Amino acid sequence: MKTIVFSCGDINGIGPEIIVKSIKKLQDKLNIVLPIPIDVFEATLDIIGIKLSYQLFRAENPLTSGLSIIDIKSEGISPGTPTPESGRISFESIKTAFKLVQSGVADAIVTAPISKKALGLAGINFPGHTEMFQQWCGVEYPLMTFLSDNLKCALVTIHIPVSEISDSLTTEKLQFITEKFIYSLKNDLGISIPRVAVLGLNPHAGEEGRIGKEETEIIAPLIKTFEDDNLIGPLVPDAFFGNGTYKTFDAYIAMYHDQGLIPFKLLNFNKGVNFTAGLPIVRTSPDHGTAFDIAWKGKADESSFFEAVKWAETIVSNRRLNG
């Protein structure tokens, strides 16, 4: 039985709720470790109206079956509001989860949503999970990917302003992302010969250099170096989705955050999963945020978190199979 550690996310958001609802479905299928304030966990059970048996996590006996809680001391919650305390707790939970996977105690991490504002209030200078794991794992470029049954997407640039995308789009970065994505599709997702689309950066994919040079100077030349791979592009992004071309590909590479995620979330909201590929560890998460507006009201949909757990299990199994 696999052991997966869940980080609790921002305790003032929907993280605790979607975790508890997912554990209810998963408790007989997995060993689960959850770093979270116990008072927050028990208050979440009361809000939802369910009961879960758990034990305190013991370092000397870490693989005890069922649900284990690592208590993170807190000063209480402020539902719907990012605070320094919620930022501190979410970060401590992530660090604890990472150490458990890095040491081999757990097989994968599934992270609940965090608030960048709360992290900042707590004095923690990371724009998101991806950059944390990038630094802790010593990876040069994080590979943010998104998974669903009908779409797989990788982003070349992630949490940067739109004004910086062009300068950040280099041959070196694009080559790294492409190589790692193809490798992950094969070894993590079990797609033996993936057909991958590469989207252009500019409108109409640059129109052969008339609307920007990135396609002719960076993207197209790189694609030619992958002659033995099923890599196609640069393709016009709006047409790729508008006329249904995406259905003929296993995956696509987007040049920036919203280019990749607007269509992905439109087609997969509450079912999509964020996966940080190219890491020595397995980490997935739901593809939505903290939803402070519905936090602590018992209204949160756990579907994406539940899917993130399923994808984490799949990736762990495929990595074991492929060595």
Residue 36 has pLDDT above 70, yes or no: yes
pLDDT tens figures, 85-123: 999 999 999 999 999 999 999 999 999 999 999 999 999
CATH number of the domain located at residue range(s) 1-139+279-323 in this protein: 3.40.718.10
CA distance 277 to 88: 26
pLDDT tens figures, 210-258: 999 999 999 999 999 887 778 999 999 999 999 999 999 999 999 999 9
Tokens of 74: 């807190």
- Which part of the chain is CATH 3.40.718.10? 1-139+279-323, 141-275
CB burial of 75-84 (b: ≥16 within 10 Å; e: otherwise) equals: eebeebebbe
Percentage of the residues of the chain whose pLDDT score is greater than 90: 81
Which residues make Cβ contacts (< 8 Å) with residue 35, sequence separation at least 6?
A: 5, 7, 8, 69, 70, 72, 92, 93, 96, 97
Banded pLDDT at 62 (limits 50, 70, 90) = low
> 44: closest CA among 24, 66, 29?
24
pLDDT tens figures, 117-158: 999 999 999 888 988 999 999 988 778 999 999 999 999 998
Residue 21 has pLDDT above 90, yes or no: yes
Tokens of 146: 């998104």
Tokens 């999509």 belong to which residue? 272
Residue 60 has pLDDT above 70, yes or no: no
Banded pLDDT at 317 (limits 50, 70, 90) = very high
Q: What pLDDT is recorded for position 51?
A: 92
pTM (two decimals): 0.91
Tokens of 233: 């592009």
The class that CATH gives domain 141-275 is alpha beta
Which stretch of 59-68, 76-85, 103-112, 175-184 has the lowest confidence by average pLDDT?
A: 59-68
